[in-house]
Structure 1
Amino acid sequence: MTRWLTEPVPRSRVAFFRTIVYVFVFLDLVVFTPWVRAHANTPGDLYQPLMIGRLLPLPTPTPLLVNTIFWALLVLSLAAATGRAPRLLGWAVFILYFEWMIIAMSYGKVDHDRIGFLVALAVLPTVGRTRFRDQSLTEAGGWALRVTQIAVICTYFLAALAKLRIGGLEWVTSGVLAQAIIRRGTELADMIAVVPGLLIVSQFGIIAFELLSPLIFVVPQRWRNWVVAFFYSFHVATFATITISFAPHLIAMTSFLPLERIGRLTRRRAGSSAATADVTPD
């Protein structure tokens, strides 16, 4: 089990994953969830902190607190994306973003697409320094990616258990997708909704997909990228029909990908360009 949890990976894979994660923190604040900043002006008596916010305890959001975290995260996330001071900057980004999520989710809306991403932020500072071109192996990096993968899969599996716990087996034959399409469906969803029985089949498929998602860990490595591609296609279909993106979850899911190939491809192209320049006549 320990060997599986700490299976070595190229340091360059961790380096690319780290950059993707920290760049997304910046984009999340300004593109995907800019509404969180509006809580700076929300009356304090509407703040109902999540359990972790009550246990610590964390302060009630104020304009000073929210805006300080916002601007600090913008600066620190971009700095962390460079790979410098990975522990110092990594822990700072995790702590601030964790508090940012407490502020975001303590007003009646809790998103479950943040679990894997928060785990990624928590474990990346433990890896230490990595470089894009470093192909040496790291067990610490392997552990960081593995626990992120586990969190990603738990997001699916626990979502299925929640559906069955709250809705029972009747969930798969209910009108939950129909309601989602009525609320936020696209034209594509409207076309699908009129096909008899298709939404019910889709709900069976969703439950099966989520319950079987842990099998990705036993799929042979040569097929795993195709399984991950299927996961991404599921979210493409979700966004195309009911406009739910799961963006942070999709970022965390890149922990499954051989990201070190980006560096190899870049070097190959650079080498090809250099070779072409050498043979080009003056």
Structure 2
Amino acid sequence: MSRWLTEPVPRGRIAAFRTLIYLFVAADLVIFTPWVRTRASVPGELYQPLLVGRVLPLPTPTPALVAVIFWALLLLALLAATGRAPRLLGWSVCALYLEWMIIAMSYGKVDHDRFGLLVALAVLPTAGRARHGDATRTEAGGWALRVTQIAVICTYFLAAWAKLRFGGLDWLTGSVLARAIIRRGTDLADLVAQVPYLLIVAQFGIVAFELLSPVVFLLPARWRLAMVGFFYSFHVVTIATITISFAPHLAAMTSFLPLERVRPLLWARRLAGRDATGSAPEPPAAAPDPAPVGTESSALGDQAPVVGRPAGP
């Protein structure tokens, strides 16, 4: 088990995963969860902190507190994405983002798509330094990715468990997807809803897929990537039909991918070098016509060798 948990991975994969996760945190603040800043204007008595917020304990959000967390987290996440000071910046981003999420989820709604991302932020500082393109393997980095992968799969499996625990078998045969389509469905979802019994079949399929998600750890590498691709396709369909993105979960799920093969900076440098020398590389110069047999090439001068057969005796 310990060998599986600490299976070495290239440091370049850790560097790429770290950059992606911290850039996502910065994007999350300004694209996906900017509404958290509006919590500062909500009366304090409506703040019902999660258990972790009560245990620590954490202060009731105020305009000043939320503004400080927002700007500090945005700056530190961008710095952490560079890979510098991975422990100092990593722990700082983890603590601030946890508080950001506690503020977001302490007013009556808790999203389960943040679990994998929070685990990734908690374990990335333990992976140590890593550079893009470094093929050296690291067990500490392997552990960080494996723990994140487990959190991602737990999100699926426990979601199915919650459906069956609170909804029972009625969740499978009820109108869950129908209500979701009525609330936030797209034109594509309206077309799907017109097919008899298709939504019921989809609900059975969703629970089956979530319960079977741990199988991904038993598959060979190629099939594991194929199954992860299926996970992503499932979320593409979810976005296209009921506009639920699960973006933090999708970011954490990149822990399954060989990210070290993605080298955007290298591609950018190559593109910049190409642009500096022209829109396309120069075609190779045509080879000069060979000199006549028994003569010297005028282009090579007096020192050029004679082309052809050596002179007779």
TM-score, normalised with respect to structure 2 = 0.86
Between the aligned partners of 1:155 and 1:279, the Cα distance in structure 2 is 54
Please report how far the alpha carbon of residue 270 of structure 1 lies from its aligned counterpart in structure 2 after TM superposition. Answer: 3.8
Separation in structure 1 between the aligned mates of residue 264 and residue 243 of structure 2, nearest angstrom: 35
Partner Cα separation in structure 1 for residue 7 and residue 264 of structure 2: 21
Cross-structure match for 1:238: 238
* Counterpart for residue 288 of structure 2: none
Residue in 1 that maps onto 2:87:
87
Offset at 1:106? 0.2
Q: CA deviation at 1:280?
A: 5.5
**One-letter amino acid of the counterpart of residue 177, structure 2:** L
Match of 1:40 in 2: 40
- Rounded to whole Å, the distance in 2 between the matches of 1:50 and 1:269 is 46
Give the distance between the partners of 2:162 and 2:264, measured in 1 at CA: 42
Aligned to 2:136: 136
Once the 2 structures are TM-superposed, how far is the Cα of residue 128 of structure 1 from its aligned partner? 1.0
Cα RMSD, aligned residues only = 2.0
- TM normalised by structure 1 equals 0.95
| In 1: Cα distance, 2:4 partner to 2:180 partner | 39
- Greater RCO, 1 or 2 (C-alpha within 8 Å, sep 6+): 1
Q: Which residue of 1 aligns with 2:6?
A: 6
Residue equivalent to 1:23: 23
The structure number with the bigger radius of gyration is: 2
The SS at the match of 2:112 is coil
Give the SS at the match of 1:114: helix
Aligned equivalents of 2:47, 2:236: Cα separation in 1: 33
What SS class does the counterpart of residue 263 from structure 2 fall into?
helix
List aligned pairs for 1:87-236, cutoff 5 A: 87-236=87-236
- Report percent identity of matched pairs: 72
Distance 1:81 1:268, change over 3 A: closer
Number of residue pairs matched by the alignment: 280
Separation of aligned partners in 1, 2:75 and 2:232: 30
The equivalent of 1:247 in structure 2 is 247
Distance between the aligned counterparts of 1:266 and 1:95, measured in 2? 32
Separation in 1, partners of 2:188, 2:103:
34
Distance in 1 between residues matched to 2:121 and 2:264, nearest whole Å: 25
For the residue of structure 2 that corresponds to 1:87, the secondary structure is helix
1:263 Cα deviation after fit: 3.0
Flag the 1:168–1:103 CA change in 2: closer, same or farther, 3 A.
same
Residue of structure 2 in register with 1:57 after alignment: 57
Structure holding more helix per residue? 1
CA pair 229-280 structure 1, distance change in 2 beyond 3 A: same
